[in-house]
Structure 1
Amino acid sequence: MKILVCCGSGLGSSFMIEMNIENVLRDLGIKGIEVAHSDLSSAKGTPADVYVATRDLSSRLEGLGGEVISLNNMIDSKELKEKLVEVLKKLNHI
């Protein structure tokens, strides 16, 4: 399973969210999920099971073939955990 975090330039915010996702997965004891980050343009050529972005960009990830997590606040770890758990349950990964 792969989670791809996307932002406009593929640097700061997507990397920060990637690290937060890795922390959530570690806290939940979930292994075997690859987490990566990229810019929005590259995401279109990068298959993933789950795409994560802030709400201003998430609609541009629809139709890429994976679930999309739209974050209202990229530094809210509670929101991230709730939405990530919801999608992982939907995909029968937890």
Structure 2
Amino acid sequence: MKFLAVCGFGVGSSMVLKMTIEKVCRARNINCEVQNTDLTSVKGMEADAVFTSPEIAMDLKQTLKCPVFGIKKYMDQKEVEQAINQFLENQ
């Protein structure tokens, strides 16, 4: 399974979100690869799901084929876990 954490430049906040996704996945024993990337690059990448800010999520939902989840608080493990649970339920 491959997840992408996305922010405008692919450096700061996407790295924080990536680390939170990894923590949640480790705690749940979910085997996945998590990458952080920028808004432009994500459109040419393959992933099972994308996690980003709610504002960017609205744009990406129209252009990507995979599920896109808007996360308000990147360090909130419960919010990220809810999004991952939603993804897993729809698989």
Query: Could you say whether these structures have the same fold, taking a TM-score greater than 0.5 normalized by the shorter chain as the test?
Result: yes
**What TM-score does the superposition give when structure 1 sets the normalisation length?**
0.89
Query: Partner residue of 1:11?
Result: 11
What runs of 5+ residues in structure 2 fail to find an aligned partner? none
Distance 2:83 2:29 in 1: 17
Query: Partner residue of 2:35?
Result: 36
Aligned residue-pair number: 90
Q: More displaced, 75-84 or 33-42?
A: 75-84
Q: Percent identity?
A: 34
**What TM-score does the superposition give when structure 2 sets the normalisation length?**
0.91
Query: Partner residue of 1:64?
Result: 64
| Aligned-partner residue type, residue 30 of structure 2 | I
What runs of 5+ residues in structure 1 fail to find an aligned partner? none
Within-5 A mapping of 1:40-51: 40-51=39-50
Q: CA deviation at 1:88?
A: 1.6
Q: Which runs of 4+ in 1 moved over 6 A?
A: none
The C-alpha deviation readout for 1:1-57, integer Å capped at 9, x for no partner, is 2111100000010011111101000000112x1110100000000111101101121
